[in-house]
C-alpha cells in the first residue's frame, strides 16, 4: 500500500491523480491533500478519500475547511502555509508525493520531499527549472525516486533504457525530441497576436490544463521550461534537446539513438496515463484512458517551431545555456507576466517582451542554496512589476 501526499489536489493534475487512485483503492491510500484556496472542493475530496491531513494556503481558509469537515463528521487534521506543506511532503506516514503545485510555490515542499527520500511524482517543472542542481543533488543524497509526470518527460523516461543514469553517451542517446502541440495560435499570424484575449489563449486544442499552464502552452514557454527540465532529468545538453511541433499530441516525445533508432511513446492526450505509469512503476495498471486508434487519427504531422512566432522558447534555451540564476529569473518573470495578461494588465505579446527585459536587467548569478534561489526569484518578480506598463 502506497500512502500518497498530493500537493495541489484541486488542480487538474491532482484531480487526475485522485481519479487513478480511486480505481485502485487496494494499492493506494491518501495521506494528505493540499490546496491553496479551493476549500469546498478540498472538503469534497476529503469526504471521498479520507486523508489524515489537509493543508490550505491561509488561516482563514483553514478555519473554513475545519467548519466544512466538522459539518460532515470528518476527522482530518487541518493546517496551512508553506511549513505545513513541507511537513506533509516529508512526513513518515507518506511514501509518495505528487508534486503538482503550479509555479515557484511548489519548490519548497517538493525539495522537502526530495530531502526526505520520498518517491516523487514530479509535475511541478518549476522545481527543476529554478533549482536544478540543488534539486538533483538532494534526490541523489537521499536516494529519493524521481518519476517525471509531464507527458513529455514521462514519455522520454519510457523510451530510455531501464536504469538510465543521466549519462546519454554511455547509453547511446543522441537526442531528446520534445513534442509540442503548438497551442491555439500555431497557424495565427504573429502580427495579430496583440489582440489575443485570455479566453482565446487558455483554449488549448488538445489538453485540459490550468489557466497558467495553458497560457504557457500558447506562448510555448511551457515547452521552454520542459527543455530546461529535460536537461536536469536526463543529463542532456541544450544542443541535444530538439522541440518538434506535433499538432495531434499523439506522440508525447521521442528519444533518438546513435544507431539511427528513434523510440516514441504514444497515447491519447490524457494526464492519467503518465500518472498511472509513475504510480505503478515498474508495473502497469489501468489508468482509465482509452487506447488510441491510429486508423481514426489517420496522419501524424511534424514541423520545426518558428522562434519568431514563439520567442519564449528561445528565451528558455538562452536561460539554460546561460545557467546560474538565469532559469530562476526566466521562470519568475514569466509567472508575473502571465498573471498580468490574465488580469488584463498587458497584451499577449507583452509576455515575452517583459520576460526579455527582466532577463536583460538582472545580472546572472550563482545559486549555491535554496535561499539564493528564492532571492533571485524575488528580485525577478520585483523587476517584472517595476517594468509593467502604468495605466
* 281 is a domain residue: no
Which of 109, 105, 97 has its CA nearest to residue 126?
105
Q: Are 13 and 275 in contact (CB under 8 A)?
A: yes
Neighbours of 372 (CB within 10 A): 16
Same structural domain, 120 and 226: no
- What's residue 206's pLDDT? 59
Same structural domain, 29 and 89: yes
CA dist 104 and 90 (Å) reads 18
- What's residue 217's pLDDT? 84
Sheet holding 241-245, edge to edge: 241-245, 173-180, 251-257, 262-266
* 286 is a domain residue: no
Mean pLDDT of 35-60: 95
- What's residue 152's pLDDT? 94
Strands 145-148 and 96-99: unpaired
Side-chain-side CA neighbours of residue 155 (13 Å):
27
Same structural domain, 111 and 139: yes
- Cell numbers of 47, please? 469526504
CA dist 47 and 145 (Å) reads 30
Q: How confident is the model at residue 332 (pLDDT cuts 50, 70, 90)?
A: very high
Tens of pLDDT, residue by residue over 69-126, are 999 899 999 999 999 999 999 999 999 999 998 877 888 999 999 999 999 999 988 8
Average pLDDT, the chain: 91
* 283 is a domain residue: no
Indicate which CATH number applies to the domain containing 27.
3.40.50.720
Mean pLDDT of 284-298: 92
Same structural domain, 303 and 349: no
CA dist 17 and 103 (Å) reads 18
Domain's final residue, options 100, 127, 148: 148
Indicate which CATH number applies to the domain containing 368.
1.10.1740.10
* 219 is a domain residue: yes
Same structural domain, 155 and 133: no
Considering all CA atoms of the chain, what is the largest pairwise distance in Å, rounded to the nearest integer? 63
- Secondary structure E strands in 14-95: 28-34, 53-56, 77-80
Residue 321 in this model has a pLDDT that exceeds 90: yes
What is the percent of the chain where pLDDT is above 70?
A: 97
* 170 is a domain residue: yes
Q: How confident is the model at residue 327 (pLDDT cuts 50, 70, 90)?
A: very high
CA dist 287 and 268 (Å) reads 12
Does the CA dihedral 180-334-135-82 come out positive or negative?
Answer: negative
Tens of pLDDT, residue by residue over 343-368, are 889 888 899 999 999 999 999 988 88
Q: How confident is the model at residue 390 (pLDDT cuts 50, 70, 90)?
A: confident
Same structural domain, 125 and 207: no
Q: How confident is the model at residue 42 (pLDDT cuts 50, 70, 90)?
A: very high
- What's residue 198's pLDDT? 74
Same structural domain, 12 and 129: yes
Tens of pLDDT, residue by residue over 1-10, are 899 999 999 9
CA dist 153 and 176 (Å) reads 10
Sheet holding 28-34, edge to edge: 77-80, 53-56, 28-34, 2-7, 96-99, 119-122, 145-148
* 318 is a domain residue: no
Domain's final residue, options 110, 131, 148: 148
- Secondary structure E strands in the chain: 2-7, 28-34, 53-56, 77-80, 96-99, 119-122, 145-148, 173-180, 241-245, 251-257, 262-266
Same structural domain, 161 and 302: yes
Same structural domain, 142 and 258: no
Predicted TM-score (pTM) of the model is: 0.90
Mean pLDDT of 144-167: 94
Mean pLDDT of 244-268: 95
Residue 276 in this model has a pLDDT that exceeds 80: yes
Mean pLDDT of 257-278: 96
Q: Range of 333's domain?
A: 323-391
Q: Is 213 helix (H, G, I), strand (E, B) or coil?
A: helix
Q: Are 310 and 293 in contact (CB under 8 A)?
A: no
- What's residue 214's pLDDT? 83
Q: How confident is the model at residue 149 (pLDDT cuts 50, 70, 90)?
A: very high
Same structural domain, 193 and 263: yes
CA dist 338 and 353 (Å) reads 12
Q: Is 254 helix (H, G, I), strand (E, B) or coil?
A: strand
Mean pLDDT of 166-177: 96
Residue 264 in this model has a pLDDT that exceeds 60: yes
Domain count within the chain: 3
* 47 is a domain residue: yes
Domain's final residue, options 148, 163, 187: 148
Same structural domain, 130 and 234: no
Tens of pLDDT, residue by residue over 176-216, are 999 998 877 777 777 777 777 777 777 656 555 667 878 88
- What's residue 209's pLDDT? 60
* 117 is a domain residue: yes
34-38, 209-213, 257-261: least confidently modelled range: 209-213
- What's residue 204's pLDDT? 58
Mean pLDDT of 289-298: 90
Same structural domain, 333 and 246: no
Q: Are 97 and 7 in contact (CB under 8 A)?
A: yes
Amino acid at each position: 500500500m502506497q500512502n500518497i501526499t498530493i500537493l495541489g489536489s484541486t488542480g487538474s493534475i491532482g484531480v487526475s491523480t485522485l481519479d487513478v487512485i480511486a480505481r485502485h483503492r487496494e494499492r493506494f491510500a491518501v495521506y494528505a491533500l493540499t490546496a491553496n484556496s479551493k476549500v469546498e472542493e478540498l472538503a469534497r475530496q476529503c469526504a471521498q478519500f479520507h486523508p489524515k491531513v489537509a493543508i490550505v494556503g491561509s488561516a482563514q481558509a483553514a478555519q473554513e475547511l475545519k467548519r466544512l469537515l466538522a459539518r460532515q463528521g470528518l476527522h482530518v487534521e487541518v493546517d496551512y502555509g508553506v511549513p505545513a506543506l513541507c511537513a506533509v511532503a516529508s512526513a513518515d506516514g507518506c511514501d509518495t508525493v505528487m508534486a503538482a503545485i503550479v509555479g515557484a510555490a511548489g519548490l519548497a515542499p517538493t525539495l522537502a520531499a526530495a530531502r526526505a527520500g520520498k518517491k516523487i511524482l514530479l509535475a511541478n517543472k518549476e522545481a527543476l527549472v529554478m533549482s536544478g542542481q540543488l534539486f538533483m543533488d538532494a534526490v541523489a543524497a537521499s536516494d529519493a525516486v524521481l518519476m517525471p509526470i509531464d507527458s513529455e518527460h514521462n514519455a522520454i523516461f519510457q523510451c530510455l533504457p531501464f536504469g538510465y543514469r543521466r549519462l546519454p553517451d554511455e547509453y547511446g542517446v543522441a537526442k531528446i525530441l520534445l513534442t509540442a502541440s503548438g497551442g491555439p495560435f500555431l497557424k495565427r499570424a504573429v502580427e495579430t497576436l496583440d489582440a489575443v484575449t485570455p479566453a482565446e489563449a487558455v483554449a488549448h486544442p488538445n489538453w485540459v490544463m490550468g489557466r497558467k499552464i495553458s497560457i504557457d502552452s500558447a506562448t510555448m514557454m511551457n515547452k521552454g521550461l520542459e527543455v530546461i527540465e529535460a536537461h536536469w532529468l536526463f543529463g542532456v545538453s541544450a544542443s541535444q534537446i530538439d522541440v518538434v511541433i506535433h499538432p495531434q499530441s499523439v506522440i508525447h516525445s521521442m528519444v533518438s539513438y546513435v544507431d539511427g533508432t528513434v523510440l516514441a511513446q504514444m497515447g491519447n492526450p490524457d494526464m492519467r496515463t503518465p500518472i498511472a505509469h509513475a504510480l505503478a512503476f515498474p508495473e502497469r495498471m489501468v489508468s482509465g484512458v482509452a487506447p488510441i486508434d491510429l486508423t481514426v487519427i489517420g496522419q501524424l504531422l511534424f514541423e520545426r517551431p518558428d522562434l519568431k512566432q514563439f520567442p519564449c522558447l528561445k528565451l528558455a534555451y538562452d536561460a539554460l545555456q546561460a545557467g546560474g540564476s538565469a532559469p530562476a529569473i526566466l521562470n519568475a518573470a514569466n509567472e508575473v507576466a502571465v498573471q498580468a495578461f490574465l488580469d488584463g494588465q498587458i497584451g499577449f505579446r507583452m509576455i515575452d517582451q517583459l520576460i526579455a527585459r527582466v532577463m536583460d536587467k538582472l545580472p546572472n548569478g550563482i545559486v549555491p542554496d535554496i535561499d539564493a534561489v528564492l532571492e533571485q526569484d524575488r528580485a525577478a518578480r520585483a523587476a517584472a512589476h517595476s517594468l509593467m506598463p502604468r495605466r
